């Protein structure tokens, strides 16, 4: 069993991983809005390099309010035009990357930059969309809970109460798979982007049920990739766009 997260448009790397034998678990963020290393992505394609550079500078400086104001000023009076442009770009991104999964045994959940229903509808038949459910894979009970924390109002964001409700449906599992990390400082803070992205609901679940393993992504440059919370080994399996490598379980 192999796991990856934060594909962010790495089509050819995903093709190579999908061709390898065995089940592949993909823990969200298939498409690339902004690559913070290069500022490439859908935002640059639609809104231009200058706008993206300003947005990245504010967000990496922790100026979330200013970044929100920049976006609101930019979209003022052209909301419908931008909605159409971004919808078209997102659909094109899924159409580019998802066909490489055809024929592979894939279990996929969504991340904060994903559009869950669009992702679900465009996955090939060999891939299964999973969220808020437990699947037995190679004799292991794997619980999936997709989505990212609420931040900038992207389609894949999930409130903490909704995440807690989703996790409660799982009950005890052998392996927990989420997009977001637990709210543990060393795991949730991106040392480059400067933002904490962990979920208190995920941490509460781990403390209550103590699954042997928890895999996740979302944070591209964490302080630590592996951490133990009680009896649970928590491990970040991203940033696939940068590494091109899958993590083998166990």
Q: How many C-beta atoms lie closer than 10 Å to residue 183's C-beta?
A: 18
Pair type for strands 226-229 and 127-129: unpaired
Taking 70 as the threshold, does the pLDDT of residue 194 lie above it?
no
Q: Quick one: pLDDT band at residue 55, thresholds 50, 70, 90?
A: confident
pLDDT value of position 97: 96
Question: Cα 4–8–9 angle (5° rounding)?
Answer: 110
pLDDT value of position 193: 67
Task: State the DSSP H helix or E strand holding residue 53, giving kind and residue range, or none if neither.
Answer: helix 49-60
Q: How far apart are CA 103 and CA 150, in angstroms?
A: 34
- Can you give the pTM of this predicted structure? 0.92
The separation between CA 195 and the C-alpha centre of its own chain, rounded to angstroms, equals 15
Number of structural domains the chain divides into = 1
- What confidence tens digit (pLDDT) does each residue in 113-167 have? 999 999 999 999 999 999 999 999 999 999 999 999 987 778 899 999 999 999 9
> Is 203 inside a domain boundary?
yes
> Is 69 inside a domain boundary?
no
Domain residue limits at 198: 2-32+99-248
> Is 103 inside a domain boundary?
yes
Q: How far apart are CA 47 and CA 86, in angstroms?
A: 9
> Is 60 inside a domain boundary?
no
- What confidence tens digit (pLDDT) does each residue in 208-235 have? 999 999 999 999 888 999 999 999 999 9
Task: State the DSSP H helix or E strand holding residue 59, giving kind and residue range, or none if neither.
Answer: helix 49-60
Q: Quick one: pLDDT band at residue 67, thresholds 50, 70, 90?
A: confident
> Is 82 inside a domain boundary?
no
- Least confident window among 5-14, 48-57, 198-207: 48-57
Taking 80 as the threshold, does the pLDDT of residue 206 lie above it?
yes
Burial 87-99 (b: 16+ CB within 10 A, else e): eebbeebbeebbe
> Is 168 inside a domain boundary?
yes
> Is 56 inside a domain boundary?
no
Whichever domain contains 123, its CATH number is: 3.60.21.10
> Is 47 inside a domain boundary?
no
């Amino acid at each position: 069993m192999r796991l990856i997260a934060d594909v962010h448009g790495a089509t050819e790397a995903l093709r190579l991983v999908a061709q390898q034998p065995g089940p592949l678990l993909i823990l969200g963020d298939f498409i690339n809005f902004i690559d913070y290393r290069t500022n490439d992505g859908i935002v640059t394609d639609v809104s231009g390099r200058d706008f993206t550079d300003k947005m990245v500078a504010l967000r990496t400086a922790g100026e979330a309010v200013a970044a929100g104001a920049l976006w609101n000023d930019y979209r003022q009076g052209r909301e419908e035009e931008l909605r159409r442009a971004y919808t078209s770009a997102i659909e094109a991104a899924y159409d580019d990357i998802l066909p490489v999964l055809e024929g592979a045994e894939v279990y996929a959940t969504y991340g904060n930059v994903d559009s869950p229903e669009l992702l679900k509808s465009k996955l090939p038949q060999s891939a299964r969309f999973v969220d808020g459910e437990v699947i037995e894979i190679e004799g292991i009970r794997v619980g999936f809970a997709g989505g990212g924390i609420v931040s900038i109002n992207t389609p894949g964001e999930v409130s903490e109460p909704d995440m807690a409700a989703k996790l409660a449906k799982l009950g005890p599992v052998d392996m927990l798979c989420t997009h977001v990390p637990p709210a543990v400082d060393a795991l949730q803070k991106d040392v480059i982007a400067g933002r904490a992205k962990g979920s208190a609901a995920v941490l509460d679940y781990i403390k209550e049920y103590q699954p042997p393993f928890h895999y996740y992504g979302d944070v591209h440059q964490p302080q630590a990739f592996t951490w133990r919370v009680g009896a649970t080994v928590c491990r970040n399996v991203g940033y696939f766009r940068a590494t091109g490598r899958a993590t083998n379980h166990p």
